[in-house]
Amino acid sequence: AQSVTQPDIHITVSEGASLELRCNYSYGATPYLFWYVQSPGQGLQLLLKYFSGDTLVQGIKGFEAEFKRSQSSFNLRKPSVHWSDAAEYFCAVGPFSGGYNKLIFGAGTRLAVHP
Amino acid sequence: DTAVSQTPKYLVTQMGNDKSIKCEQNLGHDTMYWYKQDSKKFLKIMFSYNNKELIINETVPNRFSPKSPDKAHLNLHINSLELGDSAVYFCASSQDLGEQFFGPGTRLTVL
């Protein structure tokens, strides 16, 4: 069955430090992969997406992610974290058979940033 | 301009009541969705409509009934509300298999 695993429930980093959030997926074909961010009390905003092509994708707010088919991973990275990056981050995979654009989300990783 | 909007933002109600949440998108997308986010922040799709036609129904209790009067609107009606229905409900829209754009969410609290 298709699934997304985000192994880290909660991560704390210092402002200015680098960040990597892990995402592993289980999917029968080449997936579409997404990272969304949810600030407290807000909706979800797309950070970046991978459909095909270059496996290193750039997103908004200085984030990037790398698709590694051999490891079934799509980890999110940022070289220098800002206090405003504190939020919940969700990895998602889609679509599904029949062309249904259903996203399966991971459980999320909560990022805290120390000054 | 708000791309995907939901009303109300907060909804507090008693068990057994019936309530509706409305969603509108001005992106011209063909497909709209409802997701439920539980207290642990887990997001799960409930329904999807494409051009007013139901295409995904994820074994949601039939107390939940989506309605799409046109492709820019997708409403969610919930009958006989239960404590377990308390959650944040997100509406989203997309064009074909593209990225999904999410609304700000409706926090439903059932007392």
pLDDT beneath 50, residues of chain A: none
Q: Which of B97, B101, B106, B107 to mutate to test the interface with A (most CBs of A within 10 A)?
A: B97
Mean pLDDT rounded to a whole number for chain B: 92
pLDDT at B55: 85
Both structure tokens of B7: 């009303």
CA–CA separation, B64 vs B45, rounded Å? 13
The answer on pLDDT for B14 being more than 60 is: yes
Percent of chain B with pLDDT over 90: 77
Query: Which residue from A minimizes the CA distance to B104?
Result: A43
The answer on pLDDT for B20 being more than 80 is: yes
Identify which of A43, A46, A102 has the shortest CB distance to residue B90.
A43
Q: What is the arithmetic mean of pLDDT over B37-60?
A: 88
User: Which residues in chain A are contacts of B48 at CB distance < 8 A?
Assistant: 100-102
The answer on pLDDT for B1 being more than 70 is: no
Contact B101 A95 (CB under 8 A): no
The answer on pLDDT for B34 being more than 90 is: yes
A27 or B20: which leads in pLDDT: B20
pLDDT at B97: 72
- pLDDT tens-digit series, residues A101-115: 788 999 999 999 998
Contact A90 B101 (CB under 8 A): no
Q: Which of B24-28, B40-44, B52-56, B77-81 has the lowest mean pLDDT?
A: B52-56
Query: What SS3 string covers A55-71?
Result: CEEECHHHCEEEEEHHH
Both structure tokens of B62: 């039939």
Q: How confident is the model at residue B52 (pLDDT cuts 50, 70, 90)?
A: confident
Contact A43 B104 (CB under 8 A): yes
Q: Which residues of chain A are at the B interface, by a Cβ-Cβ cutoff of 8 Å?
A: 32, 34, 36, 38, 42-46, 49, 88, 90, 94-95, 99-103, 105, 107-108, 110
Contact (CB, 8 A) for A102 and A82? no
pLDDT at A99: 59
Both structure tokens of B80: 């006989």
pLDDT at A61: 95
User: Which residues in chain B are contacts of A110 at CB distance < 8 A?
Assistant: 41
Q: Which residues of chain B are at the A interface, by a Cβ-Cβ cutoff of 8 Å?
A: 4, 31, 40-45, 48, 55-56, 58, 90, 92, 94, 96-105
